A and B are shown apart, each in its own frame.
Chain A
Amino acid sequence: MGHLKKNVLLMPSYMLIIGTLIAYLQKKTAVVTSDIIFIVAASFLFFLIPWGIKKYNKNIDEYILSLVIFLCSMSLIMLLRLKVSLFKPQMEWIGLGLVLMLLTIVFSAQLLKLLEYPYLLGLASILIIFLVVVFGTEIGGNRNWIIMGPFQVQPSEYAKLLVLGFLTAYLQENKNLLNLPNRKWGFLYLPPLRFLAPLIMIWSMALLMFVYQRDLGSALLFFGMAVMMTYVATSNKSYMFLAAVFFILSGFASYMAFGHVRVRFDIWLNPWADPMGKAYQIVQSLFALGYGGLFGAGYWHGFPDMIPAVQTDFIFSAIGEEFGLLGVLSVITAYLLIFFRAMKISFSCSDEKYKLLSFGLSATMLLQAFIILAGVTKLLPLTGITLPFISYGGSSMTASFITIGLLLAIGAKEKNRA
């Protein structure tokens, strides 16, 4: 059982139980009996899942799994505090996510076979995003939701996985062609355009549709994903340079063309121009983080309700307010450790496709966390995307669990071979 002892695996469950206790002492009406049953079930599940999976297949990376469970229990105690009505749905989503993760691990061989068909994956992702353009509904300013009966789905979360699959398969197959430096413009070495065309086509269509849907966070994520994957696959710095130029140009163009981009940019540069109006959210987030200090205001003792959309995009500010610098550092370290372990899996892969895929999956998760953390701390202009595993949201939660399932499956496979 490696270096992790059972009592360490129990800690996320303890977190849940102590969180519930504080909630009960603070506000007796906050926790009802049915919630307590859910919490007890959750704390058992959070211990049993990593323990059981490890028993079932000892090659599965226990560190990634226990860190994910930690982030989930963080999410649950924050939702218990922020909006108790969302606690039960989130618990159900985590349960569904865990089931999906197990299914992904069991059927990983079949799923990874899909990497043989890059264009299928690319077209499927375009189709999914196109469906949103046609049937999408606007919730919270972003026109990126599809409502199917009782469910609201955010398809871009799943399209992300498909695009990653496409990039992996395409780049691996055409790596040598893309590295052929037979066009030289100045200090740039580029292959003929016809080899790059499919990559640029699929990727720019995805990007354009996101811009059309005003989903700038996803657009930025897709952009960063493609740049990272291309650079890692070809190790050609010319692509990085082109991407930087493209990024500056398109950023400038969208600043000129779209009103909402201009608003976001201006409140980033100077939130104090309009602290009660447009910049209210970011200003409240900064106040919350400042109020937290080193040790935080204490669970249930801050005022994170002041921030709009605190249970999704701004949940990090609530953590910062109530758990302080230490809590924030713990969360960031958790993401970094997941990335680190995933990179270790990636290095151990012998198949180049799996190597690229596991890099892409983990780097995308880290990039997503970075974009939203940079947004709420005003390091970068705010673009609304979810914080993986912590924000409230079914699509984000299940897609992140599928990502982890793929990573664990690839890792187990490589360890089994070695």
Chain B
Amino acid sequence: MLNIVMIALQYILLFIICFFIYKIMKAVYKDLHQAAYSSDTAGKKAALIIIDSYDENIISNKINFTTSVSIGRGSENDIVLTDNYVSHHHATINAFKNQYQLEDLHSRNCTYVNDEAVNKIFLQNGDIVKIGNTSFRFER
């Protein structure tokens, strides 16, 4: 009888040790997960600043956005660039979780981030996005 109690107690002790660590890990993971996926829009503010363009009038314009912005030659885009090197629907920037993702929409002349042609990329603060003859600085 005593032996059974002992064995049970020993397994309970081991179980408590493992269970405690498991619970803590889960809590830490939840904490991290919550921080990454928190949907508060307070932290979501981004801007594109035009630093170089075919049209001198729009240089140093600042375009603020929170969720998404589309760039192209067509008039239905948020940012319209009437430049022959820009495709009709050239690129979009979308808020994705806590980051901003730039997606090239198979444009003829590509989208360049920091002088590299990209397809899909998460933008960092200070990245230079080049579309046609126009350069933007991404800020958030």
Residues of A within 8 A of B (CB): 2-4, 8, 11-12, 14-15, 18-19, 21-22, 25-26, 63, 66-67, 70, 74, 77, 295-296, 298-301, 323-324, 326-327, 330, 333-334, 337, 340-341, 344
B25 contact from A300, A327, A333, Cβ within 8 A? A333
CB atoms of B10 and A299 under 8 A apart: yes
B20 contact from A11, A18, A25, A341, Cβ within 8 A? A11
CB atoms of A327 and B16 under 8 A apart: no
Interchain nearest-CB distance for A29 vs B (Å): 16
- B interface bracket (residues with beta carbon within 8 Å of A): 20 to 34
The B interface, classified by DSSP as helix, strand, loop or mixed, is helix
Additional A-B contact list (12), CB under 8 Å, known A11-B23, A25-B9, A327-B14: A3-B27, A15-B16, A18-B12, A63-B28, A63-B31, A66-B24, A300-B10, A323-B13, A323-B14, A326-B18, A327-B17, A330-B17
CB atoms of B20 and A63 under 8 A apart: no
CB atoms of B10 and A22 under 8 A apart: yes
Interchain nearest-CB distance for B17 vs A (Å): 5
1/0 per position for B1-39, CB-CB distance to A under 8 A? 010011101111110111111011111101110000000
Considering the complex, give the chain B residue whose CB is closest to the CB of A70. B20
CB atoms of A12 and B20 under 8 A apart: yes
For A323, the chain B residues whose CB sits under 8 A away are 13-14, 17
A11 contact from B11, B19, B31, Cβ within 8 A? B19
The 10 closest A-B pairs by CB, nearest first: A3-B27, A298-B10, A11-B20, A330-B21, A8-B23, A3-B30, A18-B13, A330-B17, A4-B27, A22-B9
Q: Can you pick out 27 interface pairs between chain A and chain B where the beta carbons lie within 8 Å of each other?
A: A2-B27, A2-B31, A3-B27, A3-B31, A8-B23, A11-B20, A11-B23, A14-B16, A15-B16, A22-B9, A22-B10, A25-B6, A25-B9, A63-B24, A63-B28, A298-B6, A298-B7, A299-B14, A323-B13, A323-B14, A323-B17, A324-B14, A327-B14, A330-B18, A334-B21, A334-B24, A337-B25
